[in-house]
Amino acid sequence: MSADDDEAARKLVANERRKLSATYLNGVAVAVFAVGGFAPFISTVLASGSGSQNPLLVLGVMAICWLVSGAIHSAARASLKGLRP
């Protein structure tokens, strides 16, 4: 194997690791959105009775989760800028 082939293999491995990490981060972002940004809405809508949560509190938690999810997703996208050609 030549030096050029070794360098190409190292770039390929580095790029695949970076893409795998970005995919993991994006999965975390989706989970944060689903659990904290969407599920409370469904729970509040379907809840009945006097024990239901304060809608403003639920909306606040949802908004925070949306922001956190967006930040994690942005970090995943930013990490892909380091891919080597």
Report pLDDT for 51. 63
Report which of residues 41 and 72 the model is more confident about. 72
CB of 61 within 8 A of CB of 40?
yes
Burial 2-13 (b: 16+ CB within 10 A, else e): eeeeeeeeeeee
Domain range summary for the chain, segments of one domain joined by +: 11-80
Report pLDDT for 81. 94
Cα separations in angstroms, 7 against 47, 78, 83, 85: 58, 24, 14, 11
What mean pLDDT, rounded, does the chain reach?
90
